[in-house]
Structure 1
Amino acid sequence: MLEQAFFNVYTKFKLHFYQEIFRRFQTREASLTTVETFCMETIQALGRPTISEFAAFMRISLPNATYKVNSLVKKGYIQKKQSQEDQREYHLEVTQKYLDYYSISVTYMVEVMNRISRRFSSEECAKLEEMLRIVSKELMPEVTLPNP
């Protein structure tokens, strides 16, 4: 069944990430809460959002978003950069500290993609890529990213 196959792949990506995060907790390398991790993934995916854009996307109040952002700034995972176009506005940028943290997820994804490339023909890989692009652009209209 297609639904179960997709669910299994999605779940395995999540569980691998959780395994690595918990492994790092044991050595005290991880310092993001679960909610902060969700916030960071969203900020990175939105590509330099303002706090207002982040709040609107997450459907939370501006004060709540500001509180979460300030906590992430204190921990060194994001920084606020003043907009050159509008000096009153600040954009949120992920730091190298977060990129190092996030690489856990990216490294595994790259590893799986390399396995896919070795296991399937270039035509099959091209078809998979086409299908994923269609899913992302056409079949998931509820979530819009700046660079899909």
Structure 2
Amino acid sequence: MLKQSFFEVFTKFKLHFYQEIFQRFQDREASLTTVETFCMETIQALGAPTVNEFAAFMRISSPNAAYKVNSLIRKGYLRKRQSPEDRREYHLEVTQKYTDYYNISTSYLTLVMDRITSRFSQEECAQLDRILQIISRELMPEVELPQKGS
């Protein structure tokens, strides 16, 4: 039962995102392919990685990663920022254009979270938060994300 419930919630988040993206395609506002969307979500989650760090995380070749990054730069969703410590190194940063695009999914997440905090007690929300933190930190070791504030 728990497995089915979790899958249903996860699926609803994805489907809502797809509905919004397709609406944008209908209005001709969206210009990211599915693979580019995955790349951008990964770059944002990694917190300004280098091209090589992005390639390693995605398990693709550096030339393939560079090709995808350059396409995203041309479309205006990504930029390279030179590292102040090592001037030979460049970090990938999402642009405001991508942030606006990404807010399609985060705005629904925020709405659902607001509904959760209205529907459940503080204790229940704290318990849910504790469970989600355990899931993220202990039960999903295959996906390492940078810690907030790093």
- Give the TM-score normalised by structure 2: 0.98
1:28-47 map, 5 Å: 28-47=28-47
Gaps of 5+ in 2: none
Q: Matches of 1:120 and 1:84 in 2, distance apart?
A: 46
Paired amino acid for 2:107: T
Paired amino acid for 2:45: A
Paired amino acid for 2:39: C
Paired amino acid for 1:125: C
Instruction: Give 1:42 deviation, angstroms.
Output: 0.0
Q: Matches of 2:66 and 2:2 in 1, distance apart?
A: 40
Post-superposition CA distance 1:92-137 (Å, at most 9, x none): 0000000000000000000000000011101000000000000000
Q: How many aligned residue pairs are there? A: 148
Q: Matches of 1:85 and 1:51 in 2, distance apart?
A: 16
Post-superposition CA distance 1:3-25 (Å, at most 9, x none): 10000000000000000000000
| RMSD (Å), alpha carbons | 0.6
The share of aligned pairs that are identical, in percent, is: 74
Partner residue, 2:87: 87
Partner residue, 1:7: 7
Instruction: Give 1:147 deviation, angstroms.
Output: 2.1
Q: Matches of 1:39 and 1:147 in 2, distance apart?
A: 19
